[in-house]
Amino acid sequence: MKLRERVEWIDRTLDELYPDPPIPLDHKDPFTLLIAVLLSAQCTDARVNKVTPELFALADNPFDMSKQTVEAINPIVRPCGLAPRKAQAIQGLSEILLHKHEGAVPSTFEELEELPGVGHKTASVVMTQAFGHPAFPVDTHIHRLAQRWKLTSGKNVTQTEKDLKRHFPKERWNKLHLQIIYYAREYCQAHACHGMECLICKSCFPKRKRKLKTKKA
């Protein structure tokens, strides 16, 4: 398949497999989503979903969270890794939301990325899933599959994001990034397929003879 044919086939196939992909992180509003996405850095969504009920029972809004100490937050979020940095970020961003944004999660990339612990990928997830703004968050799954499907060079996640935005129409970005994640987890895992076994890899690259080594994010 030529690139354009491959892009269209992948897009169509993913939409057939996952017509209505749910948001994998449990949340009830932009604040709880922001905290869940922050915790998901270098951690599985499943583990985050086990941790957040206890955390949100302690505090589920910026006002209550800002009153918590890092020492109170840290034991709860420790299973998500990168402790106590995540605990410090959660407490710190809650104070900033309260004093700078009247307790609301801002809806711009610039303001989100000013918050402690919030990088471009986290901001992108919040922008798309909380506010419906067109964005294409790139995690390790998406970075891996974009390389296996020859949609990017894999140089870095920034380049992968640019390439995917260039290949796919903007109105598909929000849904497509979730569809790729679900496909990666179910059919094209990091230590399986290797660009040779799953439906999309075999269909797009039937002549591929060697396992594809992808660059890490």
Catalytic residues: 121, 139
User: Tell me, what amino acid is at 79?
Assistant: P
Tell which residue, 167, 164, 137, has the closest CA to residue 41.
Answer: 137
Rounded Cα gap, residues 117 and 186, in angstroms: 29
User: Tell me, what amino acid is at 67?
Assistant: K
Asked if 209 contacts 197 with a C-beta cutoff of 8 angstroms, the reply is no
Q: Where are the alpha helices (DSSP H) in the chain?
A: 3-17, 30-39, 45-58, 62-66, 70-77, 85-100, 109-113, 120-131, 140-148, 157-167, 170-186, 199-204
Tell which residue, 180, 216, 181, has the closest CA to residue 13.
Answer: 180
* Strand runs labelled E in the chain: none
CA distances from 152 to 70, 71, 157, 175, 207 (A): 40, 42, 10, 19, 19
